[in-house]
Amino acid sequence: MFTRTILFRLVYLTALCLPLGTPALAGDVQVAVAANFTEPAKEIAAAFEKKTGDHVVMSFGSSGAFYSQIQQGAPFEVFLSADAERPTRLEAENLGVKGSRFVYAYGTLALWSATPGLVDNKGAVLKKGNFQHIAIADPAAAPYGLAAVETMKKLGLYDALSPKIVRGSSIAQTYGFIDSGSAELGFVALSQVYKQNKGSRWNVPAAFYTLIDQQAILLAPGANDPAAKAYIAFLKSPEAVKIIKSYGYAVH
């Protein structure tokens, strides 16, 4: 009994000496993921965890918001952006590991409605204008929102459609506006609707907007984390590429 009591006290005292805030386990990878890539990121994380035993902790949102958070010291180890601009900036600012940046997917913009037959396969519905609201992601924060603006300008319809535009903070919120009927139609990432038969859509020609080359980068907090490095490497693997392509992305 005496020995067990002494042992208990030693364990208790040791626990008191531990810092209140302990770092994440070595096998945890903190990843910031652009909202358009939510579903493939979940599948890739599951495959990665099954293969390595490491755990992926993901946050989803707009690329612009994540960029600001990373600048302010957010402890993300990997950033899967929806564009090339922000990872390039982070690398130049020494917040990303030089040489780790690469394109993990090329995205496609789609005009989508939850209503069958509303969106035709050439996007002529935009010229007809027989709707009250059209949803886009915030072009300042989300590359797909910027692509939506470029598309409407390319068609010469931006000024006419501006009064009807409702903006989501991310492409995920934009999808929610359309799915709920708050907006009759809107521009989303093709990956968000690629695996569903719901509603109607037009895949916007690539010539209508700037190439959406989505880049990944290993961030400074993950520079010495084997799990973060392994995750970045896994993104390039045939298994991950197969998942990415299954959502309508192009991978070169």
Write the pLDDT tens digit of every residue in 54-88: 999 999 999 999 999 999 999 999 999 999 999 99
Report pLDDT digits (tens) over 33-60: 999 999 999 999 999 999 999 999 999 9
Whole-angstrom distance, CA of residue 29 vs CA of residue 52: 12
Whole-angstrom distance, CA of residue 157 vs CA of residue 161: 6
pTM for this predicted structure: 0.85
Which percentage of the chain shows pLDDT scores above 90?
88
- Residues near 51 by Cβ (< 8 Å), separated by ≥ 6? 234, 239
Handedness of CA 83, 106, 159, 163 (dihedral sign): negative
Range 171-197 average pLDDT: 97
Task: Determine the pLDDT at residue 1.
Answer: 43
Task: Determine the pLDDT at residue 175.
Answer: 98
Task: Determine the pLDDT at residue 252.
Answer: 84
More confident residue, 14 or 208: 208
Report pLDDT digits (tens) over 98-132: 999 999 999 999 999 999 999 999 999 999 999 99
Per-residue pLDDT for 11 more than 80? Answer: no
Which percentage of the chain shows pLDDT scores above 70?
90
Instruction: Return the structure tokens found at 85.
Output: 């601009």
Q: According to the annotation, is 170 in a ligand binding site?
A: no
Task: Determine the pLDDT at residue 17.
Answer: 38
Per-residue pLDDT for 221 more than 60? Answer: yes
Q: What is the dihedral angle through the alpha carbons of 238, 219, 69, 143, rounded to the nearest 10 degrees?
A: -40
Q: According to the annotation, is 162 in a ligand binding site?
A: no
Whole-angstrom distance, CA of residue 190 vs CA of residue 248: 7
User: Which structural domains are found in the chain, ordered by start?
Assistant: 28-106+212-245 (3.40.190.10), 109-203 (3.40.190.10)
Using 50, 70 and 90 to split pLDDT, how confident is the model at 27? confident
Distances (CA, A) of 204 to 88, 94, 140, 189, 224: 26, 36, 20, 10, 41
* Reduced DSSP (H G I as helix, E B as strand, rest coil) percent helix, strand, coil of the chain, to 5: 45, 20, 35
Give, as one character, the DSSP assignment of residue 100.
-
